[in-house]
């Protein structure tokens, strides 16, 4: 075979191979057997989610449980035109919890409440549950203030008395009010927790609960070690956030002592023969103002006595008398 014949043969073979390849591709692209249809998109997704406002940890006293045995969870949605019944799927739960099968939205409602009931909870036993919303009503690609999944724990503990008759007195006001013990109160800790309570705080007739936030790098709070009870006092009850206030060019967070959600606490101090109109505490992260230290505490506040403001008044109280830093005359 000469060169011309070989060249003609190569052209024929190339044409043949190309025809076979094209035929194979054509058959492959038209085959119904190998094609799989993707999932149909949900035609109307209202983007439901559990609000970020829901707590992940609930710590109760036996009194709390006796008063209510229901957790009210806030559920939101972005599309609220129509009424909706959104399935709630239980991922995991302890037996004490009863979780509704659905959360109900009325037409036009963007927020609904899911009531999770619990019964027979034992003290000092941590109980948990986790749930999610049906994926046909959620959208993982939308940015929301929350999530379509939610998990929480419930713990019940008792108050234990740390000290009886903790003494309170003021300094940095004036001679009429300074260094005079004007009130005694019992001091409690919710056992095993960073949660404390003064009974009848400052003679107001109102209990005040608070936690301690460490502000020093070498201190780690331990509920069982009073030596670590050092840091900033954070109120947990009967308070209203007052935002930030500038004092001598420094900004501090402040909060008001409240009788209830809408009323400032106001009361008479018989020992000092004075009426307390308002109490406004303030602190910043590293400030020695509003600071618990060892067996007691000093708080810097802005207190109104008989209608007059006393800024930088210092409220002293020590639940361990041996930790007092100043001598206080007995009345």
**Judging by beta carbons within 10 Å of its beta carbon (0-12, 13-18, 19+), is residue 39 exposed, middle or buried?**
exposed
Where in the chain are the domains? 48-156, 159-323
Q: What is the pLDDT at residue 291?
A: 55
Residues facing residue 240 across a β-bridge: 256
Distance in angstroms (rounded) separating the CA atoms of residues 191 and 155: 11
- Specify the pLDDT at position 40: 47
SS3 percent helix, strand, coil of the chain, rounded to 5, is: 15, 45, 40
Q: What are phi and psi of 21, to 5 degrees?
A: -65, -45
Instruction: Name the residue among 151, 158, 50, 157 with its Cα closest to residue 94.
Output: 151
pLDDT value of residue 329: 45
CATH code of 48-156, in short, is 2.60.40.2030
Question: What is the residue-level pLDDT of the chain in tens, covering all 331 positions?
Answer: 544 454 454 444 544 444 444 444 444 444 455 555 445 445 568 999 999 999 999 988 888 888 789 999 999 999 999 999 999 999 999 999 999 999 999 999 999 999 999 998 888 889 999 999 999 999 988 899 999 999 999 999 999 888 887 888 888 888 888 888 888 888 899 988 899 999 999 899 999 998 988 878 888 989 888 878 888 888 888 999 888 877 677 777 788 899 998 999 999 988 899 999 988 887 655 444 555 555 566 666 677 888 888 877 888 887 765 554 444 444 4
In sequence order, the 6+-apart residues with CB closer than 8 A to the CB of 280 are 242, 254, 255, 256, 257, 301, 302, 303
Q: Is the pTM of this model over 0.85?
A: no
């Amino acid at each position: 075979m000469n060169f011309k014949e070989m060249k003609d043969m190569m052209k024929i073979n190339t044409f043949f191979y190309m025809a076979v390849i094209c035929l194979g591709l054509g058959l492959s692209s038209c085959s119904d057997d190998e094609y799989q249809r993707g999932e149909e998109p949900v035609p109307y997704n209202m983007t439901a989610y559990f609000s970020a406002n829901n707590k992940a940890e609930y710590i109760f006293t036996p009194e709390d449980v006796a008063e209510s045995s229901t957790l009210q969870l806030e559920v939101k949605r972005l599309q609220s035109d129509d009424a909706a019944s959104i399935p709630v799927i239980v991922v995991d739960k302890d037996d004490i919890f009863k979780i509704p099968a659905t959360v109900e939205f009325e037409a036009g409602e963007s927020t609904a409440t899911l009531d999770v009931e619990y019964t027979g909870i034992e003290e000092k036993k941590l109980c948990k549950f986790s749930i999610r919303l049906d994926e046909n009503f959620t959208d993982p690609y939308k940015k929301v203030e929350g999530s379509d999944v939610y998990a929480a724990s419930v713990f019940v503990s008792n108050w234990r008395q740390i000290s009886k008759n903790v003494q309170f007195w003021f300094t940095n006001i004036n001679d009429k009010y300074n260094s005079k013990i004007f009130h005694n109160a019992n001091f409690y800790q919710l056992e095993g927790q960073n949660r404390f309570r003064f009974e009848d705080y400052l003679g107001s007739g109102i209990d005040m609960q608070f936690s301690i936030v460490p502000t020093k790098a070498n201190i780690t709070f331990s509920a069982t070690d009073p030596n670590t009870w050092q840091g900033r006092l954070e109120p947990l009850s009967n308070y209203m956030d007052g935002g930030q206030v500038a004092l001598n060019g420094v900004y501090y967070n402040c909060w008001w002592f409240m009788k209830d959600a809408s009323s400032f606490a106001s009361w008479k101090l018989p020992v000092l023969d004075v009426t307390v109109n308002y109490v406004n505490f303030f602190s910043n992260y590293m400030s020695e103002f509003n600071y618990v230290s060892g067996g007691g505490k000093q708080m810097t506040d802005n207190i109104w006595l008989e209608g007059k403001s006393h800024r930088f008044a210092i409220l002293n109280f020590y639940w361990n008398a041996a930790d007092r830093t100043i001598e206080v005359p007995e009345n």
